[in-house]
Amino acid sequence: MLCRTIPRTARTRGDAVDGRKQESIGQHFVQRKYLDGFIDPSLKTALWVYFSNKPPRPHAPVRVARRNHYYCYRKNGVWDFIGDEGITKLEGFAVPVLEKLTSKHFNLTDEERLTFAGYVALSYLRVPAFERRINRIANTLNARLVEFVAQSDAHLGKFAKECEKEDGEMCDVKSLRKALTGGDVYLTQENRGWTLRQMFNSLIGLQELIFSMRWTFLTCADEDEGFLTTDNPVSVYDPTAPHAVAFRSSLNAYFTFPICRTVALVGDHLSTPRITKLTPFDVRGFNSDNMTNADRQLYAPFENRKVQERFEEIVRRRPKEKKVRLEKGRFAEW
């Protein structure tokens, strides 16, 4: 299965030596091996990367969907690579199953199915879009907590005693309330180690849920343009809960995950598992829906002007992401 032992000891790389600049480590937030499945057959070594503000360009998979030290964080002055090592190990378990499905061999054993369920879960949790979601939840909870504490003499009194123990200075309820309600501030969650822990803590539960869902494999002909994917490759939908979409928001919830240019996975709670070959028209419809969940980029095995136009339209219509704000001790969004 995918979620086996994650390394418990940290290993550091690229630490400063004699004042020299630390090594820059590029880490893929969409697995490079996965991106290989969306290479344009006519280009042989590159796929098309679509942006919302410029024409698509061909890039080798090794160059896209990556950030320096993305799965690392600073600990005691050095880089901790345990997150990167854990993800690399989990990917290694899943690659043989990915290759099997890419070859359209869908007869998975229970262990292979569980492993790939973990791979889908990891693909959902490892991207910047999830990082922003989980950080926003943390910021909202913290803002609500400050709002609640600021209105309660009892809680402020307990907080004042804790401050006195920690700092050794007198602290009273009145001054604390003034500090909490005296100005406006945006909340940010910048502890990357905390975010990575949330990702790994969510992984096993989501893996088990995806494993239990009904799987349908969608295929298309090799000569078709094929499926595209995005920098947020697992899309979750629930037509009965549009404002609270989740893998189990209702029995109508489902997810989609393009596996390669000729295979895609759909998981839900109700349908009969099957293998379905799509027409080029159906594939275009699948791609159009998939684009709505892209974060900032699309990765496709083809260049298509209509795809670019559709993506531009999607980005234009998106509401601006709001920041969590405290206004004189009251929760607000801006």
Please spell the DSSP secondary structure of 143-185, one letter per residue.
HHHHHHHHT-HHHHHHHHHHHHHHH-S---HHHHHHHHHSSEE
Specify if 41 maps to a domain. yes
Residues 122, 114: Cα–Cα separation, whole Å: 12
Specify if 24 maps to a domain. no
What integer is the mean pLDDT of 303-314?
Answer: 95
Structural domain count, the chain = 1
Other beta carbons within 10 angstroms of residue 223's beta carbon come to 9
Specify if 72 maps to a domain. yes
Higher pLDDT, 112 or 155: 112
Q: Tell me the pTM.
A: 0.86
What integer is the mean pLDDT of 100-110?
Answer: 97
Specify if 21 maps to a domain. no
Of 314, 308, 270, nearest in space to 289 by CA: 314
- Predicted confidence at residue 17, as pLDDT, reads 31
The Cα-based distances of 218 to 12, 21, 55, 190, 307 in angstroms read: 42, 48, 29, 39, 20
What integer is the mean pLDDT of 77-104?
Answer: 93
Higher pLDDT, 10 or 291: 291
Radius of gyration for the alpha carbons in the chain, expressed in angstroms and rounded:
23
Specify if 3 maps to a domain. no
Higher pLDDT, 243 or 56: 56
Residue 10 has pLDDT above 60, yes or no: no
Specify if 19 maps to a domain. no
- Predicted confidence at residue 166, as pLDDT, reads 75
What integer is the mean pLDDT of 63-70?
Answer: 92
- Predicted confidence at residue 2, as pLDDT, reads 52
Range of the domain at 296: 32-135+189-317
SS3 at position 289? helix
Of 301, 296, 311, 331, nearest in space to 67 by CA: 296
- What's the half-sphere exposure (Cβ side, CA atoms, 13 Å) at 332? 12
Specify if 325 maps to a domain. no
The Cα-based distances of 115 to 5, 95, 234 in angstroms read: 13, 9, 16
What is the token pair recorded at 194? 């905390």
What integer is the mean pLDDT of 111-117?
Answer: 98
Residues 302, 43: Cα–Cα separation, whole Å: 9
On whether the CB atoms of residues 52 and 42 are closer than 8 A, the answer is no
Residues 167, 210: Cα–Cα separation, whole Å: 48
Specify if 157 maps to a domain. no
- Predicted confidence at residue 1, as pLDDT, reads 54
The size of the chain, in residues, is 334
- Predicted confidence at residue 311, as pLDDT, reads 96
- The mean pLDDT of the chain is 88
- Predicted confidence at residue 22, as pLDDT, reads 45
On whether the CB atoms of residues 199 and 125 are closer than 8 A, the answer is yes
pLDDT in tens, 210-267: 999 999 999 999 999 999 999 999 999 999 987 889 999 999 999 999 999 999 999 9
- For the purposes of burial, counting CB atoms within 10 Å of the CB of 58, is it exposed (0-12), middle (13-18) or buried (19 or more)? middle
On whether the CB atoms of residues 71 and 27 are closer than 8 A, the answer is yes
Helices 173-181 & 153-167 angle (0-180, nearest 10): 100
- Predicted confidence at residue 174, as pLDDT, reads 78
On whether the CB atoms of residues 250 and 240 are closer than 8 A, the answer is yes
pLDDT in tens, 137-172: 999 998 898 888 888 778 778 877 777 777 777 777
What are the beta bridge partners of residue 59? Answer: 47
On whether the CB atoms of residues 83 and 71 are closer than 8 A, the answer is yes
What is the token pair recorded at 321? 């992401």
Residue written as token pair 């950080």: 135
